[in-house]
Amino acid sequence: MDTRRLLRFLATALGTAGLLVSGCSSGGSAPSASATGSAATEELEPYYGQKLRWRDCGVEGFQCATMKAPLDYAKPDGGDVKLAVSRKKATGPGKRIGSLLVNPGGPGGSAVGYLQGYAAIGYPAPVRARYDMVAIDPRGVARSEPVECLTGKEMDTYTQVDQTPDDQGEVNALDSSFQKFADGCQKRSGTILPHVSTVETARDMDMLRALLGDEKLNYVGASYGTFLGATYADLFPARVGRLVLDGAMDPSLPAVDINRDQTAGFEAAFQSFAADCVKQTACPLGTTSTTDAATALKKLFTDLDAEPVPTGESRQLTESLATTGVIAAMYDEGSWPQLREAIAGAQRKDGSGLLSLADSYYERGPSGKYANLMFANAAVNCLDLEPAFAGPAEVEKAVPEFEKASPVFGRGFAWAALNCAAWPVKPTGTPHRTEAEGAAPIVVVGTTRDPATPYKWAESLADQLSSGTLLTYEGDGHTAYGRGSDCIDTAINTYLLDGTPPKDGKKCT
């Protein structure tokens, strides 16, 4: 299981898994802060001056185009990347406000897929009426020159590697699996690997803003998309329109702190699940206390470590896949009934339920082919921040802190954070405060029991941003907009439609 800096944004009609990334990366000088039209610096004018050729996507109501951007912003004449763009025009009634870019997180989540599968259908009708809904797959993701690393069979092997090693042999095997993953990425995608940083993607977004004819960027980013949006604001504060950062991350943290905070976040989410489970007459983890539920889940993991169980197909349910399945269900309380059934099945030696959850998390199709989600998100994460750990010895020292943060998940999360140590490209980013001095009001949304982006990250980002205003959802799950809170949705809709942000510190249930 690959859990380092793990994010997932779940929407009603679309689930997207990914990893959290923080930091800032290099890539040449940013376009001129005064550029709001078709051009920026002289070197970038050919890109800012291009014309998007819109065509029918084959999906009713959507148009698609391909945007060219420099592979390396430091050398704009050194080759291009082709980036997939999609839009659905404002439906009316009401005066069109402009374009609204959306990003579902990851990194590695397809923004185009999210737009076509959910946002342009599921966002509130008044928002869709007055905005052209727009998405761009970030460089290295999905339709935009995707990073590739392993074959389907190789990924099957990778996802089953024991991430709670009990001896030196298992430590070596885990270390080797990370090396093979990194080597595969270098072999198959070596040209683009150095150029998928969040800063470069933010610059691509500014280019798209200009090509759409918008003076300001209006944007809703969820999960990792909050870091992308905050990075844009920091680079181009004068071009910030209406920005919503939902399920916020803290760009000032190093990777080890991010991983440890997320470990605690998933523990808190599990405690909420367990508290609900023990009230059910058929809770597979017992009906006494959350402590007993945690003990029962750990026992299941230990049993699977010793002896995987059948799933009805060639793959067995290992401890690592079972843990991924449980983690997948922590993002949305709507998945808790399915998780209860899956855990009960595994206890009966039927691993199909937890395997199904794990496969959905990894975006593994029925044919055994994986989407490029995990490849892209490793590529971005490992470029944007120094590795959490340089080697196994550092992990061993950190395990007690991680287990303190989560007795259930801590050991596995600590070892999973070793992956970037083997990465073939040196990181270009560092933890930093993101202030976006001079930007228009930015709405930062935090959920109090969010497993992947702990609430304190939203508090921190809102405090860092010079114009940040914090909107709080007191509840469970990852992200808040469009997940059932009328209070949250009304506050965000009002901001998007008339530019009035909610009062800083507003709380919703």
Active site residues: 223, 450, 478
Number of CB atoms found within 10 A of residue 156's CB:
17
C-alpha 460: how far from its chain's center? 18
Residue 314 burial (C-beta neighbours within 10 Å; 0-12, 13-18, 19+):
exposed
Question: What residues contact 297, with CB distance under 8 A and at least 6 apart?
Answer: 270, 274, 285, 326, 343, 408
Q: What values do phi and psi take at 21, rounded to 5?
A: -135, 145
CA–CA distance, 383 with 391 (Å, rounded to integer): 17
Helix residue ranges, H only, 278-309:
290-306
Structure tokens that stand for 37 in this block: 């039209």
Beta pairing class for 98-103 and 131-136: parallel
Half-sphere exposure of 497 (CA within 13 A, CB side): 19
Structure tokens that stand for 83 in this block: 């980036």
Four-CA torsion 151, 154, 160, 165, nearest 10 degrees: -130
Beta pairing class for 80-88 and 98-103: unpaired
Q: Which residues pair with 473 in a beta bridge?
A: 447, 508
